[in-house]
């Protein structure tokens, strides 16, 4: 009797789609969608030993974020949850616990006043990076963004320390994002170490606030997480409060990957560099340009970042003819939804004009680069406005006519998770003398 059971287990392992996520990377979704008719909203799959359905489009988003039918707790593989988000973080919660914890994120990051508070930091840090490039800096767009975003968001959050110390911590948080999805590479153990270091550092900051050694401003992320109480009116353990503090910092730093895509897109679409440069000169500011913002939104739509998100079916669910029983997985195709041909006009074309004049981007159900549904009740990232402001400032800087974006190293490895242009986007002063290509 053991042989058939063993054969069944082997057959299930062969059928499982999880390994192809590692081997195909961002081509994973294309393979799944070939199983159904063109334009289907769901497709059958098997993931980590469970039957599942792969969903996309507005219908898929609606299903995935319905808390009566789908749960997030335990759906994310532990290797991702623990490394990227941290143990016990808001990303693993559902229902009342999720809404209560999420409310602090919304209060700290989502209000327009918080964007206004971050903007001067972004303006100063990106002006500094621009000046450095004009003076001969050879940092890539990605590396410059890690530093600029890290220093900006940490000052905004009330985190103390020198600019150099903030830049170093930002580099650690960026490396966690770079390494969490590559368990087969040396980047993964490095990400585990940086996770440990960052958890310890954030915990120490929380403890220092609680005993009065640090006094961050009221309303800052550091202040609010040190004071946060759970749904039972108990103070969060310092370790967990530090995890959530990082979850308010790291997403902004992760936007540096989109900056690398922006460098690539601006090199490929020089007419947009001209348009954004003209707007920036006219406004006299790097932050908040409507054209730069539209360009940033199209980068977020098309850039390869989070490919999918998993959830558990709480009840039997069905979408577009595909069914999964309670206990199976429902997987939202993030990339496939952002580039779905049924949802977007000429979805395969890079066209920032599609976002010009769009004020309420959250109303676009199929636009989910930072999660979907409502910010307060769903899993949409409350720091999305901050991310857009930072990315738009980077677009304005990279459009400056005093800079050149080099063509070399802009290739993207679609098999690696997460990925970005290989070089990070090489930026040089346009006035710099040409170098020998062999040196």
DSSP string covering 50-86: EEEEEE-HHHHHHHHT-TTTEE-TTTS-HHHIIIII-
On the question of a cis peptide bond just before residue 418, with omega within 30 degrees of 0, the verdict is: yes
pLDDT for residue 301: 98
pLDDT for residue 433: 62
pLDDT for residue 289: 98
State both tokens at 358. Answer: 């769009």
Q: Print pLDDT tens along the chain (439 aa).
A: 444 455 444 454 467 998 888 789 999 999 999 999 999 999 999 998 889 999 999 999 999 999 899 998 777 777 778 888 888 888 777 788 888 888 888 889 998 999 999 999 999 999 999 999 999 999 999 999 999 999 999 999 999 999 999 999 999 999 999 998 777 788 999 999 999 999 999 999 999 999 999 999 999 999 999 999 989 999 999 999 999 999 999 999 999 999 999 999 999 999 999 999 999 999 999 999 999 999 999 999 999 999 999 999 999 999 999 999 999 999 999 999 999 999 999 999 999 999 999 999 999 999 999 988 888 777 788 899 999 999 999 999 999 999 999 999 999 999 999 999 999 999 999 996 655 545 4
pLDDT for residue 439: 46
pLDDT for residue 432: 64
Domain annotation for the chain: domains and CATH numbers: 74-305+374-429 (1.10.630.10)
pLDDT for residue 46: 95
State both tokens at 68. Answer: 């009566």
Chain-centre distance of CA 207, in angstroms?
28
Please, are residues 368 and 378 in contact by the beta-carbon 8 Å criterion? no
The upper half-sphere exposure of residue 321, i.e. CA atoms within 13 Å in the direction of its Cβ, equals: 7
| Full-model pTM | 0.93
pLDDT for residue 8: 46
């Amino acid at each position: 009797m053991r042989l058939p059971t063993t054969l069944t287990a082997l057959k299930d392992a062969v059928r499982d789609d999880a390994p192809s996520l590692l081997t195909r990377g961002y081509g994973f979704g294309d393979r799944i969608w070939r199983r159904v008719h063109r334009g289907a909203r769901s497709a059958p799959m098997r993931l980590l030993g469970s039957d599942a359905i792969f969903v996309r489009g507005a219908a898929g988003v609606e299903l995935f974020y319905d808390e009566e039918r789908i749960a997030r707790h335990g759906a994310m593989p532990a290797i991702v949850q623990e490394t990227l988000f941290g143990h016990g973080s808001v990303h693993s919660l559902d229902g009342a616990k999720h809404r209560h914890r999420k409310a602090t994120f919304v209060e700290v990051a989502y209000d327009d006043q918080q964007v206004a508070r971050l903007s001067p930091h972004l303006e100063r840090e990106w002006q500094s990076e621009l000046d450095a490039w004009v003076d001969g800096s050879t940092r890539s767009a990605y590396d410059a963004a890690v530093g600029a975003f890290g220093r900006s968001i940490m000052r905004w959050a009330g985190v103390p320390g020198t600019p150099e110390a903030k830049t170093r911590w930002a580099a650690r948080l960026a490396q966690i994002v770079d390494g969490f999805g590559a368990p087969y590479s040396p980047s993964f153990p490095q990400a585990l170490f940086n996770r440990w270091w960052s958890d310890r550092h954030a915990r120490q900051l929380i403890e220092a606030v609680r005993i009065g050694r640090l006094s961050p401003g009221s309303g800052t992320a550091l202040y609010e997480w040190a004071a946060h109480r759970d749904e039972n009116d108990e103070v969060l353990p310092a370790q967990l409060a530090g995890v959530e503090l990082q979850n308010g910092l790291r997403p902004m730093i992760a936007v540096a990957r989109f900056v690398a895509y922006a460098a690539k897109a601006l090199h490929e679409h020089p007419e947009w560099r001209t348009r954004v440069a003209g707007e920036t000169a006219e406004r006299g500011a790097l932050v908040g340009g409507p054209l730069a913002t539209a360009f940033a939104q199209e980068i977020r739509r098309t850039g390869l970042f989070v490919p999918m998100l998993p959830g558990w079916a709480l009840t039997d669910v069905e979408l577009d003819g595909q069914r999964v029983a309670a206990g199976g997985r429902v997987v939202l195709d993030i990339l496939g939804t952002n580039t779905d041909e049924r949802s977007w006009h000429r979805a395969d074309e890079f066209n920032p004009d599609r976002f010009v004049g769009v004020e309420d981007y959250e109303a676009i159900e199929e636009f989910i680069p930072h999660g979907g549904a409502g910010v307060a009740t769903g899993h949409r990232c409350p720091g999305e406005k901050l991310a857009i402001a930072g990315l738009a400032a980077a677009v304005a800087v990279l459009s400056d006519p005093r800079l050149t974006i080099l063509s070399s190293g802009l290739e993207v490895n679609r098999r690696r998770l997460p990925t970005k242009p290989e070089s990070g986007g090489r930026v040089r002063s346009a006035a710099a003398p040409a170098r020998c290509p062999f040196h």
